[in-house]
Structure 1
Amino acid sequence: MLRTAIPAAARRRISFAPARFAHELAQVQAQVQSAVPGRDGLEPSWVPLYRRISKLSHGRQPGMAAAEMTKYLRERRPLSEYQIVAYIRKLRKFKRHACALELMDWMEARGAKLTPGHQALRIDLVSKVHGIQAAEEYFWSLPDILKSRKAYSCLLNCYGEHGMAFKGLKFYEKMKAKNIVPNTLVYNSLMALYKKAGQPEKIPSTFEEMRESGITANSFTYFSLVESYVTMNDLEAAEKVLEELQKVAPVHWSLYTLMANSYIKLELCEKAEVALKKAEEVMNKDELSSWYFLLSIYARCGNATEVKRIWESLKSTFKKCLNRSYLVMLQALSTIDDFESLQQIFQEWESSHEQYDMRITNVMIKAYLDKGMIDEAEAIRQRTMAKGRCDYRTIYIFAEFYLEKSNVTGALEILRDAKKMVTAHKWVPSKKLTSRFLKHYEESKDVDGVESFCECLRKLECLDAEAYEGMMRTYIAAGRTNPSIAQRIEDDGIHVGPETMKLLECVSGN
């Protein structure tokens, strides 16, 4: 029973999962992660509390979710372990990992007995919130009795997620030494590690070992197998796997889209479209990601008719069209260069959206710039800037466009507006963008230009030694000196190295 500071009579009214949930609880704890989405819905009566917790997870202060759960218990409402685990898994699904981990800590602090499945879930969350080292420390701190196959499998999977292929493979050797019998998750993690280690040739033999051991493969397993053959440029073997699979089990739509992408790389668009038709036949129509793949891949095929057909099907399937759906569609239309339809869909979104999404506006801005319609693009920028809607991507789209057109004055004007465009946080230009400006000024020997640029960087609070070096190289290229630069560098508190000192001597006229 969950413990909290309330009278014993009230505590008796706090119940764990009733017997009718026992089977579902076992299923929930079966794996930390699965390639095929499982049951993630909540009982209707649980939804209000979940919404309250979910809202707290946005920019939350630590402890707020736990406080909300404690408050719920003090109101003498029943709360089951299964319910809490369902919340944790749903938060994890939507990448609210810190909040999910907080709920797990809260659950344990109130006397909940963590099962091996729970421990595996905690390892995964610790890895995502605090990093792989913290996950390792937590794993090795567990009593041997709790170092279950699920816990080992989870840590193995964490190594893959963090891109630590070789460390993960060494850990797998420890698992074998302890005679931990692999399951589907272990083999899937192993295949992922081989992929990250650049050893796709080991995946087919791993699959054979898995099959000979009588362990059931799932969609992720077959995806890894097919992907390994694609990586090795053996499309014939990949096709053979699909043909065999079709005879014995349902094929997940992602396998067909994987093949379609591979065909497009070889400019086999007809074969790609056949694969996409098969994907559409077997996909779960309620799964938005499948529609997004179809839109994007048909666009890469250059098939405008199919892009528009899929879009209409998507809209008829879902009551509400999400911002993400509009974004994918607009990106698809940009790919096939259907500018007229792009404008129409953008206008449709502008008139119907509930929440503003600058990513969508950026697609339209870039489309206008690509068409040389600078006034239209600038009109959108001024409008969104006035509303505080721009983001860092807007800055890069305009700055890079103007630089490509050798309009450095226009690009610099964008940087001057940066603070108005990104108001939520401090923005500084990337090293790559800064280097492009400095290179232009040096090549054109534009001393006044580089001074204006550095002044802009100072206002953005990112004037550094590299910028000063670029400035001095421009002075040298123009055959000019400026003894005051040394004092300016000192006033700005910038540390200079030997190379900078050499430039400084030249510019100072020494």
Structure 2
Amino acid sequence: MKLFHISTYAQSFYQKIQKQLFSKISTRIRYSKNGSKSDTLYKRISPLGEPNVSVEPVLDQWIREGNIVKKTELQNIINELRVYKRFKHALQVSCWMTDKRHFRTSHFDAAVRLKLIFKVYGLEHAEKFFNEIQENLKTFDVYLALLTCYANARSVDKAEAIMQKARDLGYASKPLWYNLMMNLHYHLGNIEKLDDLMNEMKSKGVDHDHFTLAVRLSAYAAASDPDGIDKTVRILESDPRIFLDWKTYVIAAEGYLRLGLVDKALAILQKLERKLATTKQKNILFFFLLKLYGETGKKDELYRIWNLYKQNEKVINKVYISMMRSLMKFNDIEGLEKIFSEWELSGLSYDFRISNFLIDAYCRNGLLMKAEDIINSGLSKGGNPLVITWCLLAAGYLKENQVPDAMEALRKAISISFAKSNPSKDSLTACLEYLDDSKYLKKVEEFTRLLRVENIPSGAVFDKLFCFIKDGTLQPFPQDERNGEYGTED
């Protein structure tokens, strides 16, 4: 079964299931203003952001200076590095802790290192480490870490085997074991497995939690099952043991909108608005409210949320992006111009992701001079056009039969991509989608040759281009072959 695409934020929400693991060391490092020795070690490690630069010399120097380091401090440093996805450095600290300082490895330390090895070196190395762990250390934490690795690697058979081992050992008495398996099957489209796992939880007296129902909710939406969404929302709202946060309402609203059930989505959005009174993440919540109200087609409601936001919060670029994207759904050029002017006067950093919405609207409506003016103005203010900026302009030129100008814009898109250390295949793929008129066949062939020389698109992209050259049609690219509409979001 092919699952529908939900927001990046909502998908990352499921990954938080894993953050239920290893909660024994959950305190983030906080530093005193006087720079005491207890915090200096992390401060020395922190600036080493390049993964290929080892932190071991810093650790060794710390000891040579006569400083003392406690195991709990090293564990906290490992945890902090994991938070910032510096897995290689965290693994180095973990190994140094046992190999150089000879601190005794606990089952918790082994579990953390297992996950770090998977992150840095992959599943095969993680399995090798697991096999080398002393049997007395292979407890709940270690098996749970291994299951997490298998789930992340989408290795169903191995995950099922470890889950069965956990059942046999009596470990699978907490919902997070089932959450990992449900999340794995959800992402693989094995929706029928979710009911089996929830029934097993019920039969064994394992209470479901927020994460269990969040995965179940998304699965019902993926299966176009509004009754299932209704049922899950009712359970979430009626169970006093579960804290129902705003993220779950976002998932439900997206599911209803996917099914075209606007009235039900609006009812959820009203509940979502009430979460503004209690959440500390107001900017993110407003971002989603603007996005979702735009998808309902209710422009008045969209502007109501926008005005509410401006009254209560300092508007940031990310929320401007959400508002501009929603206005694009209405082709509201006047509204786009007004919001864009507000943004320019706000004093925020210049961000072509915001400009691109207005550039796109102008190009779609034949207002090329206005689109050019936006780009030139952005350049004069220190902004850097994105690959997609020039692709949008190229589309406008093609629409007006200005082929030489279109090719020049596409060449600028390529030059931006090459200027980066990692050229973006996705952005250039998006450019190709605009070349959808057979009368530009020769220019498409020329552009294709240029990309072939530079080895930019994937084979799948070239297959689509060759089909276009053959019969003059270009099918849309899959979602995962493309970048965001107007540039990658932070």
- DSSP-derived class of the 2:19 partner: coil
Q: For residues 297 and 141 of structure 1, what CA distance do their matches in structure 2 show?
A: 50
Q: For residues 431 and 263 of structure 2, what CA distance do their matches in structure 1 show?
A: 44
Residues 349 and 122 of structure 1, relative CA distance in 2, 3 Å threshold: farther
2:245 to 241, 252, 261: 252
1:140 to 116, 131, 135: 131
Q: Which residue in 2 is equivalent to 1:196?
A: 187
Displacement of 1:315 after TM fit?
A: 5.7
Contact 2:350 2:383 in 1 (8 A): no
1:267 matched to 2:263? The reply is: no
Contact 1:32 1:154 in 2 (8 A): no
Aligned AA for 2:285? Answer: S
Q: Which residue in 2 is equivalent to 1:330?
A: 324
Aligned AA for 1:133? Answer: E
Aligned AA for 1:34? Answer: Q
Q: Which runs of 5+ in 1 are unaligned?
A: 1-30, 475-510
Q: Which residue in 2 is equivalent to 1:10?
A: none
Q: For residues 303 and 254 of structure 2, what CA distance do their matches in structure 1 show?
A: 19
Q: Which residue in 2 is equivalent to 1:362?
A: 356
Displacement of 1:275 after TM fit?
A: 0.9
Displacement of 1:461 after TM fit?
A: 7.1
Contact 1:127 1:135 in 2 (8 A): yes
Q: Which residue in 2 is equivalent to 1:19?
A: none
Contact 1:418 1:427 in 2 (8 A): no
2:409 to 402, 410, 414: 414
1:42 to 5, 26, 29: 29
1:285 matched to 2:279? The reply is: yes
Q: Which residue in 1 is equivalent to 2:420?
A: 424
Q: For residues 157 and 82 of structure 1, what CA distance do their matches in structure 2 show?
A: 24
1:101 to 91, 113, 129: 91
Q: For residues 437 and 311 of structure 1, what CA distance do their matches in structure 2 show?
A: 31
Q: Which residue in 1 is equivalent to 2:488?
A: none
Q: For residues 86 and 143 of structure 2, what CA distance do their matches in structure 1 show?
A: 23
Q: For residues 48 and 332 of structure 1, what CA distance do their matches in structure 2 show?
A: 47
Q: Which residue in 2 is equivalent to 1:4?
A: none
Contact 2:388 2:430 in 1 (8 A): no
Q: For residues 291 and 435 of structure 2, what CA distance do their matches in structure 1 show?
A: 37
1:342 matched to 2:329? The reply is: no
Equivalenced residue count is: 436
Aligned AA for 2:354? Answer: I
The root-mean-square deviation of aligned C-alpha atoms, in Å, is 4.3
Residues 274 and 61 of structure 1, relative CA distance in 2, 3 Å threshold: same
1:376 matched to 2:362? The reply is: no
Q: For residues 33 and 140 of structure 1, what CA distance do their matches in structure 2 show?
A: 24
Contact 2:179 2:211 in 1 (8 A): yes
Aligned AA for 2:274? Answer: E
**Deviation sequence 1:376-432 (CA, Å, 0-9, x none):** 323344555685823333344344554566544233112332465342336476785
Answer with 1 or 2: which has the greater Rg: 1
Q: Which residue in 2 is equivalent to 1:113?
A: 104
Q: Relative contact order, CA 8 A, sep 6+: which one is greater? A: 2
Contact 2:395 2:435 in 1 (8 A): no
Q: Which residue in 2 is equivalent to 1:225?
A: 216
**Deviation sequence 1:20-68 (CA, Å, 0-9, x none):** xxxxxxxxxxx95239x996643242788656644432x45421x4444
Residues 223 and 393 of structure 1, relative CA distance in 2, 3 Å threshold: same
Residues 332 and 211 of structure 1, relative CA distance in 2, 3 Å threshold: same
Contact 1:333 1:342 in 2 (8 A): yes
Aligned AA for 1:42? Answer: I
Residues 429 and 89 of structure 1, relative CA distance in 2, 3 Å threshold: closer
Q: For residues 438 and 328 of structure 1, what CA distance do their matches in structure 2 show?
A: 27
Q: TM-score, normalised by structure 2?
A: 0.72
- DSSP-derived class of the 2:388 partner: helix
Residues 350 and 129 of structure 1, relative CA distance in 2, 3 Å threshold: farther
Q: For residues 63 and 154 of structure 2, what CA distance do their matches in structure 1 show?
A: 41
Q: For residues 369 and 245 of structure 2, what CA distance do their matches in structure 1 show?
A: 46
Aligned AA for 1:331? Answer: R
Answer with 129-138 or 385-394: which moved more: 385-394
Answer with 394-403 or 268-277: which moved more: 394-403
Displacement of 1:274 after TM fit?
A: 1.4
Contact 1:124 1:158 in 2 (8 A): yes
- DSSP-derived class of the 2:224 partner: coil
**Deviation sequence 1:174-230 (CA, Å, 0-9, x none):** 444555434222110111122133221221331232234333432111112223333
Contact 2:222 2:255 in 1 (8 A): no
Q: For residues 457 and 275 of structure 2, what CA distance do their matches in structure 1 show?
A: 55
Residues 98 and 169 of structure 1, relative CA distance in 2, 3 Å threshold: same
User: How many percent identity over aligned positions?
Assistant: 27
Q: For residues 220 and 52 of structure 2, what CA distance do their matches in structure 1 show?
A: 47
**Deviation sequence 1:254-310 (CA, Å, 0-9, x none):** 332222122222322222121122233346521254333222212211233443444
Q: Which runs of 5+ in 2 are unaligned?
A: 1-16, 33-37, 470-490
Residues 439 and 374 of structure 1, relative CA distance in 2, 3 Å threshold: closer
Aligned AA for 2:408? Answer: E
Answer with 410-419 or 400-409: which moved more: 400-409
